[in-house]
Structure 1
Amino acid sequence: MTAAPSARAPRRPVHGVLLLDKPLGLSAQAAVARVKALLGAEKAGHTGTLDPLASGLLPVCLGAATKFAQVQLEADKAYDALLRLGARTTTGDAEGEVIATAPVDADRLTPARLADLACRFTGVIEQIPPMYSALKKDGKALYEYARAGVEVERAPRRVTIHALQLEPVPHDPAALRLRVRCSKGTYVRTLAEDLGAALGCGAHLIALRRTATGPFELAQAVTLEQLQHATMEERLQRLLPPEALLHGWPQVTLEEDEAGRFLAGLRRRGRWPDAEAVAVFGARPRALLGIGRCRGGELIPVRLLAPAEIAQWLTQTHAS
């Protein structure tokens, strides 16, 4: 006799940002699904994917916070990585097949040479996106072409390397540790390959860990195992408010009547300096209403929370 399928756990509105330390071997989407299930949340998304072979900081947006996920997609990121020198692969990382090898002269990897190399790759640089990436050409992801053995011409893209450190790995002369803080759209795999080319021996990525995104640091993150062993109350206490995604933005605060009109999508007038992006709050109770822009003394709504979402967030905050 076939057992009846177990009933799906009920979902409910949950709002906020959970900073997750994503483990190796799990896709970003699968990690989000696990968080969503553990919190019983109706809606969840992430703020920038991490490959299964990468670990580290993955901000998971829940409920109302998903409306502002794009902000973190645009944010600077920081990574720790390990490079294997002396070999290039089809994918630029350890998943691919080795396509070229070259000897590694470890004696030449002096601190001075590595510092000079890091300096050369700091600032605005150009990268050619890897074939094994999710960028699209004629509606298809580049990795689909790559898996079919088709090479597609890619235009170089400008990215910014804000800070770069290169260090030898003790007892492993064919490895380098890389620490980088970079703009959105930077491919660390491509950076590894370009560094290997500059050293004359080739290189590929063998480990990658995201340590920061925007204002968030890995030290703030929780693991899936920790979440699994926590009570629901403890899980909710881990959530940052949706406005955490708007860290550092100018703020506008509206009294009750003005807040209601703003939430209805109406422009408001006031003595606000021009700003392309502001976080808008209601005064009493203090709560995020949405985001807007200020132009010529007008506050223009851009992205609004629903009154129900605001009420649910306030209730959730009080309950936890």
Structure 2
Amino acid sequence: MARRGATGLSGVLVIDKPAGCTSHDVVARLRKATGEKRIGHAGTLDPMATGVLIVLVGSATRLARYLSVDRKSYLAHIEFGTATDTLDADGDVVSSSPVPPSVLDALEAERILATFLGPQTQIPPAFSAIKRQGVPAYRLARDGADVTMEPREIEVYEAALSAIDPSGLTWQVRFSVSKGTYIRSLARDIGAVAGTDAHLSALRRTHAGTLGLEHAVTLEDACAAASDGRLPSLFVDPLPALGFPHTTGDPASVRTGRALPAPAGLAPGTGDRVSIVVDGRLGAVYRLSGSSLVPETVFVPEVAR
């Protein structure tokens, strides 16, 4: 008997998330359009943000652990002179301060941005989904609670100035950062170094790992394709996104989770992951253990490529 809410769809979508909706809203729209209940995402975007949102459909939801990638890239707009409670344009202004003329100097902007490169600790926003005693911090903050956020280790790989808008007192900056980095917090901290208040006025994610805007489709196009039965044509190949070595496997063995002999050229070891292709689709992720491959995650049905 088919499981309720299962459609046989299994694949990876890259959605260009529109502003004004949550990542969960995107998932809900696609569940309704497809009739498939097993849909999730890898890497949340704030409602204000747009851009790359990796959506996993059907058995591909089991890819979430692998596709919550360590490196993400953004185009951010930082507005100086005001701070908000959420650290972005969706929040209420909580303070204002004069903007030094040096903020509009490109050389000074580049100097400040350079100080944010590399490993560092960051204090996340109080208005975030990070849980405090089992409750999302944003709920506590909305209720007026004094929320103390613990610093976390992050890394900024790139912080490059793209443009300065003097009339809007705004920088446009390209960021490439590690998983768990809040661009809103970077905007706040950049303002402090510049000697004024600041908040994130716009944000667009351009890449999540190897998946970028060039792979993305709009939510409207994805829902239309789902209604017309064309959604599989929009799925992206998961193998490059995973970045693991890949090999083919005997369908019966992979589908029943049996160990496989390691192919020539793969160095023996423990913990090394390998994508297994079955009948042209992603059938499983195995781990290299000695001279064998042992199953870690098996996809039923296999994930479209």
> What's the TM-score, normalizing by structure 1?
0.84
Q: Which amino acid aligns with 1:288?
A: L
The alpha-carbon deviation at position 233 of structure 1 amounts to: 4.9
Residue from 95, 105, 109 that aligns with 2:90:
95
Aligned to 1:261: 253
Aligned equivalents of 1:89, 1:43: Cα separation in 2: 36
Report the structure number with the largest CA radius of gyration.
Answer: 1
Aligned to 1:152: 147
- Tell me: CA distance 1:25–1:108, structure 2 relative to 1, closer, same or farther (3 Å): closer
Aligned equivalents of 2:161, 2:78: Cα separation in 1: 10
The answer to whether structure 1 residue 169 and structure 2 residue 194 are counterparts is no
Farther-moved stretch of structure 1 (267-276 vs 12-21): 267-276
Aligned to 1:210: 205
Aligned to 1:301: 295
Residue from 212, 236, 242 that aligns with 1:240:
236
What SS class does the counterpart of residue 305 from structure 1 fall into?
A: strand
The alpha-carbon deviation at position 286 of structure 1 amounts to: 3.2
Residue from 33, 56, 66 that aligns with 2:61:
66
Aligned equivalents of 1:131, 1:44: Cα separation in 2: 28
The alpha-carbon deviation at position 178 of structure 1 amounts to: 1.8
Cα pair 2:104 2:169 within 8 Å, conserved: no
The alpha-carbon deviation at position 244 of structure 1 amounts to: 4.9
The alpha-carbon deviation at position 183 of structure 1 amounts to: 0.7
The alpha-carbon deviation at position 168 of structure 1 amounts to: 4.2
What SS class does the counterpart of residue 196 from structure 1 fall into?
A: helix
The alpha-carbon deviation at position 167 of structure 1 amounts to: 4.2
Q: How many correspondences in the alignment?
A: 297
Cα pair 1:68 1:245 within 8 Å, conserved: no
- Tell me: CA distance 1:34–1:117, structure 2 relative to 1, closer, same or farther (3 Å): same
Q: Which amino acid aligns with 1:265?
A: G
The alpha-carbon deviation at position 262 of structure 1 amounts to: 4.1
- The one-character-per-residue Cα deviations of 1:138-158 (angstroms, maximum 9, x if unpaired) are 111111221222223332111
Aligned to 2:125: 130
Cα pair 1:252 1:278 within 8 Å, conserved: no
- Tell me: CA distance 1:266–1:233, structure 2 relative to 1, closer, same or farther (3 Å): closer
The alpha-carbon deviation at position 74 of structure 1 amounts to: 2.9
What SS class does the counterpart of residue 18 from structure 1 fall into?
A: strand
Considering fraction of residues, name the structure with more strand.
2
The answer to whether structure 1 residue 36 and structure 2 residue 31 are counterparts is yes
Cα pair 1:53 1:208 within 8 Å, conserved: yes
Residue from 187, 190, 193 that aligns with 2:188:
193
The alpha-carbon deviation at position 36 of structure 1 amounts to: 2.9
The alpha-carbon deviation at position 51 of structure 1 amounts to: 1.6
Q: Which amino acid aligns with 1:31?
A: V
- The one-character-per-residue Cα deviations of 1:9-43 (angstroms, maximum 9, x if unpaired) are x8622111111111111111111222233334342
Aligned equivalents of 2:14, 2:71: Cα separation in 1: 16
Cα pair 1:292 1:302 within 8 Å, conserved: yes
Aligned to 1:7: none
Aligned to 2:14: 19
Matched-pair identity in %:
33
Aligned to 1:140: 135
Farther-moved stretch of structure 1 (146-155 vs 45-54): 146-155
Q: Which amino acid aligns with 2:299?
A: L
The answer to whether structure 1 residue 52 and structure 2 residue 47 are counterparts is yes
The alpha-carbon deviation at position 218 of structure 1 amounts to: 0.9
- The one-character-per-residue Cα deviations of 1:116-149 (angstroms, maximum 9, x if unpaired) are 1111101112101111111112111111221222
Aligned to 1:220: 215
The alpha-carbon deviation at position 296 of structure 1 amounts to: 1.9
Aligned equivalents of 1:128, 1:20: Cα separation in 2: 29
What SS class does the counterpart of residue 280 from structure 1 fall into?
A: strand
Aligned equivalents of 1:29, 1:108: Cα separation in 2: 37
CA RMSD of aligned residues (A): 2.3
Cα pair 2:89 2:201 within 8 Å, conserved: yes
Aligned equivalents of 1:11, 1:237: Cα separation in 2: 19
Cα pair 1:13 1:42 within 8 Å, conserved: no
The answer to whether structure 1 residue 290 and structure 2 residue 280 are counterparts is no
Gaps of 5+ in 2: none
Cα pair 2:274 2:288 within 8 Å, conserved: no
What SS class does the counterpart of residue 172 from structure 1 fall into?
A: coil
